[in-house]
Structure 1
C-alpha cells in the first residue's frame, strides 16, 4: 500500500514573491490566510491551500520530492516547478 500524505501549498509566479511570503510565515502569519490571499492556485487557495491527500506519482516530481521529505507541520523553502514557486506545508 502506498503512503498518503496531506499537504497545503501557496503557489506564486516569482521566487521573490515566494520568499516574501515565507518571511511572513516565519514572522507568525497564518499559512492558510496567506494561501487565500496570494496563491495563484485558486482551487486550493480557497481552501487555505489544502490539496488533500495524495500518494507518490500524483504530483510533479520536484513538488512530490519536497512534500514527502517534510515532517507534519513543517513548511518547505520555495520549490520551483513548471507551475511556479510552491511553499508547501505538510498537514498529515
Structure 2
C-alpha cells in the first residue's frame, strides 16, 4: 500500500447531490469542472478539487480508507463523513 496518495475530491452536503454529480462524471463530464461548480470545499474546489498529497492520519478515517484503496485514475462512490459526501479521484 502506498505511503502517500494524491487525490482530488468533490464535497457536497447531500447524498442525492453526490449521486447526481457521479452520474455526470460517468457520462464524461470533467471531474475538475464539476469540483469547481459544485464542491462546498472552498479551498480545494477552486483547484479542480485537488487536495495534493497526503499520508495516513491526515484525513478523516472514512475518507482516508477509501482514498488509499482506490487505484490510480479511479473515482469512488460517494463517501459520507462528518463534512458531507465526497467523491474522490486518485491521481498518484
| TM interval, short-chain normalised | over 0.9
> Where does residue 70 of structure 2 map in the other structure?
70
Distance 1:35 1:43 in 2: 11
Distance 2:32 2:87 in 1: 11
> Where does residue 47 of structure 2 map in the other structure?
47
Find runs of 4+ consecutive structure 1 residues off by over 3 angstroms.
none
Give the alignment's TM-score, normalised by structure 2: 0.98
> Where does residue 14 of structure 1 map in the other structure?
14
Offset at residue 17 of structure 1 (A): 0.1
> Where does residue 81 of structure 2 map in the other structure?
81
Distance 2:50 2:64 in 1: 15
> Where does residue 91 of structure 1 map in the other structure?
91
RMSD between aligned alpha carbons? 0.8
Offset at residue 59 of structure 1 (A): 0.2
Offset at residue 84 of structure 1 (A): 0.1
User: Is there any run of 5+ residues in structure 1 with no aligned partner, and where?
Assistant: none
Question: What is the number of equivalent residue pairs in this alignment?
Answer: 91
Distance 1:18 1:37 in 2: 13
TM-superposition CA deviations, 1:16-59 (whole Å, max 9, x none): 00000000000000000000000000100000000000000000
Give the alignment's TM-score, normalised by structure 1: 0.98
Offset at residue 5 of structure 1 (A): 0.5
